[in-house]
Amino acid sequence: VEHIHRVLSLLREHDLYVKVTKCTWMRKWAKFLGLVIDEGGVRPAPEKLQGLQEFPEPKDRTGLRQFLGLANWFRRFVPHFSHIVAPLLSLLRTTVPFNWKAEHSLAFPLLKKAVLDHATLALPDPKQPVVLVPDASLSAQAIGAVAMQRDCASGRFRPLAFGSRRLTGAEVNYPVRELEFLAIIHFAKVWKHFLAADSEIWTDHQSLTNFNHRSFEHCSPRVRRWIEFMQELGIQPKYIPGKANIVADALSRNPPPSAPQREPSAPRQEPSAPEQELRVLQVSAVPSREFLRKCREGYAHDPFFSPIVWNLSALRPPTPSPELALRMRDITFRDGLLYYGGDRLCVPRSLHKQVIGENHASPHSAHLGINKTYKKMASLYYWPKMWRDVGVYIRACDPCQRSKGPNALPPGLLHPLSVPSQPWESVCLDFLTDLPPSGDERYDTIMVVVCRLIKAAILVPTHRIASAEETARLYRRFVTCKKGYQRQIVSDRDPRFVSKFW
């Protein structure tokens, strides 16, 4: 009852409401997102387990992928998951035929049994420190970790989460110490919500317990960024012998499988132009018949196509003027619609933005550039100066402006700057502007400060109209007070940087 009173008090304090019919009271367990949560911890719901246990034996790669995708949901509850599933993963390779053998028949029920005998993860206790135990294995080309907390009742450590992943092609070439450091950094970022000032990180690599050692003086910029992250995290790793680091060592030597490659699909016959037209029209929320109806209605208000429709639909059309005759060249009139060059639908001005948006900004279009978008549209549609309209639309596309960088060569000659001797001795400073307003302060600009040596970045929200004095105060608050004074600040000729105030 006390817990219910606390929850309801918090809801009332923040003016939040709950629906009574969706609430359950006086229960010792609850279901949430396929999980059962009680005082003992977190475990999968029985419905999830039943779906896996009733899954039939796969007959092809598609069925095997479906089974492994379902089983992969239970990965964090099953120790040594990838070791059990390894025989089945070999069948996902497209370079070998799909032959179901005795070893696969043995691994299939064994994986079901391992999931059925899953471990129960403990619920985090905010009063107890979290212990992160990572490890790396160069032979298995993977890293693994476990997050644990000590149980007050039994005095033993209980797992909060298991984790492991394979190394990338570049990470395989890292030295052993950097691999151990990578494991610490990766899982500290993954489970950062678990970590606090009193948390501990255990490692079996003793040199990682002292970042001020002279062996780190000439390390790579990547390692310097890692050291800076650990300093901001405020947790100093503690050394434990490798023999005591059993769980994380096992996870790193039994990593999760890499993503399976897709099977090469059989060649498909290209659809005809009318079929392509209908497919493009069906992508939008408006049905194709509705779209064609709007085209017929839009011709009457289009200054380019309305004279053509009137001339071609008249029983006794007058002789067209030379300008109109030039417009009507290669245009036919069928069922109230105009077609250019045979099958290219003529689109009135009122529907230009809709058609460009469907071919550029819809989920299946991938925000292609001007050339590719125009070629895609030109095979289906026609209107005068289509190239110009496509260019204007794409240059104003908000997602494209955010995610696509310029591909033009920089003007003038480049003058390289000297390499700094220590982190945050020299920084680059610039603004990222014209962003959607966010937060209570309606920030629309980000001040970006990057260390030229280790490439670490500090992002400060601000406004586009911020003055030189306000910019200097933000720089002092978020950069100088945290990283010290800089010998050099590199920026463009923004009035806020070249003013006398700086």
pLDDT, tens digit, 9 for 90 and up, residues 491-502 = 988 888 887 766
Distance (Å, whole) CA 435 – CA 445: 6
Residues 232, 305, single domain; the answer is no
Which residue's entry shows tokens 């696969």?
104
Q: Which tokens belong to 26?
A: 């006086």
Q: Which of 93, 116, 139 is the last residue of a domain?
A: 116
Q: What is the mean pLDDT of residues 44-49?
A: 68
Distance (Å, whole) CA 208 – CA 212: 10
pLDDT band at 43 (very low <50, low <70, confident <90, very high): confident
**19 burial type by CB count under 10 A (0-12 exposed, 13-18 middle, 19+ buried):** exposed
**Closest among 70, 62, 105, 68 to 85, alpha carbons compared:** 68
Identify the CATH number of the domain in which residue 81 sits: 3.30.70
**Closest among 33, 11, 29, 32 to 20, alpha carbons compared:** 11
DSSP 377-402: HHTTEE-TTHHHHHHHHHHT-HHHHH
Residues 317, 385, single domain; the answer is yes
Residues 387, 460, single domain; the answer is no
- List the 29-32 sheet strands across, edge first: 29-32, 35-38, 41-44
DSSP state of 478: I
Residues 49, 152, single domain; the answer is no
- Number of neighbours of residue 355 by Cβ within 10 angstroms: 24
Residues 238, 281, single domain; the answer is no
Identify the CATH number of the domain in which residue 388 sits: 1.10.340.70
Tell me, yes or no, whether 414 lies in a domain.
Answer: no
Residue type, 298: G
Q: What is the mean pLDDT of residues 466-488?
A: 92
Q: List, in sequence order, every residue forming a beta bridge with 331; answer none if it has no partner.
A: 340
pLDDT, tens digit, 9 for 90 and up, residues 251-264 = 444 444 444 444 44
**316 burial type by CB count under 10 A (0-12 exposed, 13-18 middle, 19+ buried):** exposed
pLDDT band at 273 (very low <50, low <70, confident <90, very high): very low
Distance (Å, whole) CA 382 – CA 304: 12
Residues 154, 203, single domain; the answer is yes
**Choice among 86-90, 386-390, 457-461, 478-482 with the minimum mean pLDDT:** 86-90
Q: How many domains does the chain have?
A: 4
Tell me, yes or no, whether 160 lies in a domain.
Answer: yes
Distance (Å, whole) CA 359 – CA 338: 20
Tell me, yes or no, whether 333 lies in a domain.
Answer: yes
Q: Which tokens belong to 144?
A: 């693994």
Q: Which is it for the CA torsion 27, 33, 38, 44, positive or negative?
A: positive
Enumerate residues 6+ apart whose C-beta is below 8 A from 262. Answer: 94
How far is the CA of 466 from the CAs of 432, 436, 497, 501, in angstroms?
13, 16, 12, 14
Identify the CATH number of the domain in which residue 449 sits: 3.30.420.10
Residues 110, 142, single domain; the answer is no
pLDDT of residue 446: 95
pLDDT at 460 over 90: yes
Residue type, 359: N
Q: Which of 87, 116, 145 is the last residue of a domain?
A: 116
Distance (Å, whole) CA 57 – CA 77: 23
How far is the CA of 319 from the CAs of 213, 316, 334, 365, in angstroms?
92, 9, 20, 43
Tell me, yes or no, whether 472 lies in a domain.
Answer: yes
Tell me, yes or no, whether 218 lies in a domain.
Answer: yes
Strand ranges inside 304-425, DSSP E: 331-334, 337-340, 344-346, 381-382
Q: Which of 82, 116, 150 is the last residue of a domain?
A: 116
DSSP state of 338: E
Domain that holds residue 67: 32-116
Distance (Å, whole) CA 486 – CA 67: 56
Tell me, yes or no, whether 23 lies in a domain.
Answer: no
Q: What is the mean pLDDT of residues 460-474?
A: 92
Residues 317, 379, single domain; the answer is yes
Residues 97, 136, single domain; the answer is no
Tell me, yes or no, whether 260 lies in a domain.
Answer: no
Q: What is the mean pLDDT of residues 173-188?
A: 88
Q: pLDDT > 70: what percent of the chain?
A: 83
pLDDT at 428 over 80: yes
Residues 379, 344, single domain; the answer is yes
Tell me, yes or no, whether 363 lies in a domain.
Answer: yes
Residues 311, 242, single domain; the answer is no
Residues 197, 308, single domain; the answer is no
